[in-house]
C-alpha cells in the first residue's frame, strides 16, 4: 500500500506523516493518547453502524432461535474487520488528507502515528476478523468480510473523490467534474427512490413483520424528500441535509429491524 509522490509543491499543508516524525512524537506521548489516535483510525462511528447493521441482520436471519455464542463472535469479527479496514483506508489516503484543512489534523498526516505501524495493525485486525469468523461463525461470513475489505480499499477508496474540498487533494468525482449537479441530483433521487421498495422486501419475504414495514416506508420517503429538495435548491445547506439523512438512514433502518424482531 504505497503512494506515488504528491506531485504538488504548492500543497497548503506539508505532509508530515514520515515515520521518523511519528516516532519522535510517539516517544513523548502517553499510551492513552496513542490509543486514542488508533481508535480514531479505526473510524468508530462507521464501525459501530456496520456492527449494528450486522447485528440486525443476524437477528432477522435467525427465525428459529438465537445462538448467543455465534452472535458474539459475529459481532466481534465484524467490528474488528471494520476497524482494520478503517485503519488501512487512513493509510491509503494519508497524503491526500494532508493537503486538505479538514483532514490534515488526522493522526497519520499530522505525524502522530507511524504509517507502517498503522498498516500492520490494520492488516492484523482484518486477518484476525476473518480468522475468527470462518471457524466460529461460518465460511460465507468470513468470505464476505474479506471481500468487503478488498472492495472498500481497492475499489471504493481509489474512486472516492467527492466535493469541492477534494479538488485540492487531487480528487475528482461527479460533483467536481460536473459542478452544475444535474447528474448528481438525478442519481441521488433515483437511488433514494429505489430504496423505498427495496427496503420493504423483508416484509414481503417474511423476514420482518408489519412493525418494520410501517416504519421503513416513511423513513425511505423522508430520505427521498431530502434529495428532491436538494434538486430544487442546490445549496451547501441542502447537500448537508442529504448527507445527514444518509448517515441516519442505516442505523434507523437497523433499529426498526431490531424493534420488529424483539416485539
Query: In whole angstroms, what is the distance from residue 178 CA to residue 72 CA?
Result: 45
pLDDT of residue 160: 63
Banded pLDDT at 27 (limits 50, 70, 90) = low
Rounded Cα distance between 80 and 73, Å, is: 10
User: Which range, 142-146, 236-240, 242-246, has the best average confidence (pLDDT)?
Assistant: 142-146
Q: Where are the domains of the chain?
A: 19-162, 182-262
Cα three-residue angle 233-234-236, rounded to 5 degrees: 115
**Do residues 192 and 225 lie in contact, with contact meaning Cβ atoms separated by under 8 Å?**
no
State the average pLDDT over residues 37-50.
Answer: 93
The confidence score (pLDDT) of residue 262 equals 84
Q: Is 70 exceeded by the pLDDT of residue 199?
A: yes
**Residue 9 pLDDT grade (very low, low, confident, very high; cuts 50, 70, 90):** very low
Task: Domain 19-162: give its CATH code.
Answer: 1.10.357
* Mean pLDDT of the region 148-170: 69
The more confident residue out of 55 and 17 is 55
- For 62-80, the pLDDT digits (tens) are 866 788 899 999 999 999 9
Cell triple for 246: 444518509
Q: What is the mean pLDDT of residues 49-69?
A: 86
Q: Among residues of the chain, what percentage have pLDDT more than 70?
A: 80
Return mean pLDDT, the chain: 83
Q: Which of 34-38, 106-110, 147-151, 158-162 has the lowest mean pLDDT?
A: 158-162
Exposed/middle/buried for residue 231 (C-beta within 10 Å: 0-12, 13-18, 19+): middle
Res. 14: pLDDT tops 50: no
Flag whether pLDDT at 12 surpasses 80: no
Amino acid at each position: 500500500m504505497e503512494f506515488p509522490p504528491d506531485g504538488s509543491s504548492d500543497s497548503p499543508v506539508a505532509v508530515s506523516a514520515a515515520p521518523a516524525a511519528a516516532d519522535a512524537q510517539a516517544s513523548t506521548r502517553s499510551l492513552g493518547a496513542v490509543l486514542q489516535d488508533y481508535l480514531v483510525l479505526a473510524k468508530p462511528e462507521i464501525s459501530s453502524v456496520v456492527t449494528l447493521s450486522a447485528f440486525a441482520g443476524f437477528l432477522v436471519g435467525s427465525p428459529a432461535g438465537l445462538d448467543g455464542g455465534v452472535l458474539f463472535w459475529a459481532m466481534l469479527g465484524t467490528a474488528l474487520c471494520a476497524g482494520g479496514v478503517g485503519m488501512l483506508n487512513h493509510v491509503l489516503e494519508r497524503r491526500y488528507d494532508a493537503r486538505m484543512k479538514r483532514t490534515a489534523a488526522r493522526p497519520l498526516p499530522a505525524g502522530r502515528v507511524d504509517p507502517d505501524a498503522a498498516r500492520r495493525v490494520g492488516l492484523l485486525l482484518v486477518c484476525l476478523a476473518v480468522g475468527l469468523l470462518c471457524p466460529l461463525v461460518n465460511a460465507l461470513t468470513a468470505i464476505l468480510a474479506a471481500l468487503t475489505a478488498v472492495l472498500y480499499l481497492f475499489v471504493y477508496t481509489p474512486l472516492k473523490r467527492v466535493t469541492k474540498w477534494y479538488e485540492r487533494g487531487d480528487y475528482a468525482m461527479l460533483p467536481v467534474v460536473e459542478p452544475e449537479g444535474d447528474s448528481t441530483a438525478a442519481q441521488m433521487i433515483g437511488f433514494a427512490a429505489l430504496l423505498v421498495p427495496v427496503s420493504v422486501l423483508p416484509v414481503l419475504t417474511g423476514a420482518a413483520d408489519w412493525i418494520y414495514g410501517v416504519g421503513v416506508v416513511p423513513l425511505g420517503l423522508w430520505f427521498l424528500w431530502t434529495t428532491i429538495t436538494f434538486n430544487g435548491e442546490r445549496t451547501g445547506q441542502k447537500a448537508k441535509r442529504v448527507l445527514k439523512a444518509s448517515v441516519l438512514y442505516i442505523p434507523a433502518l437497523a433499529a426498526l429491524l431490531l424493534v420488529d424482531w424483539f416485539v
